[in-house]
Amino acid sequence: MAHHKSAIKRIQINERQRMRNKHYKTCMKNAIKDVLAATTATEGNEKLLKAVSILDKIASKKIIHKNKAANQKSRLTKLVNSLA
């Protein structure tokens, strides 16, 4: 266990950040699953917009890399376009 006040504070901050990142990643995974489960083009487009918004937000906060977000958006867009 840490003995210095600053080290104890870093442990607390890291735990808060870990929980926040975990929440955002869970939201991202659920949004992607919703898009993959879409059966019609209109339903897919609605869910795609939500997923793209979440991916952009997470990438801007540097929780995931911007290229990973771009790859996910591209993959989901291609899938939704194939539904039409």
Number of H helices, E strands in the chain: 3, 0
Residue 6 has pLDDT above 80, yes or no: yes
Measured in degrees and rounded to the nearest 5, phi and psi for residue 17 equal: -65, -40
Sequence-distant (6+) residues with CB within 8 A of 4 are none
From residue 35, alpha-carbon distances to 5, 25, 51, 72 in Å are 46, 16, 8, 11
pLDDT digits (tens, 9 = 90+) for 28-37: 999 999 999 9
Q: What is the mean pLDDT of the chain?
A: 96
Instruction: Provide the residue ranges of all domains of the chain, joining segments of one domain with +.
Output: 19-83
pLDDT digits (tens, 9 = 90+) for 57-70: 999 999 999 999 99
The architecture of the domain spanning 19-83 is Up-down Bundle (1.20)
Question: Are 63 and 21 contacting, i.e. CB atoms less than 8 angstroms apart?
Answer: yes
pTM equals: 0.86
Residue 84 has pLDDT above 90, yes or no: no
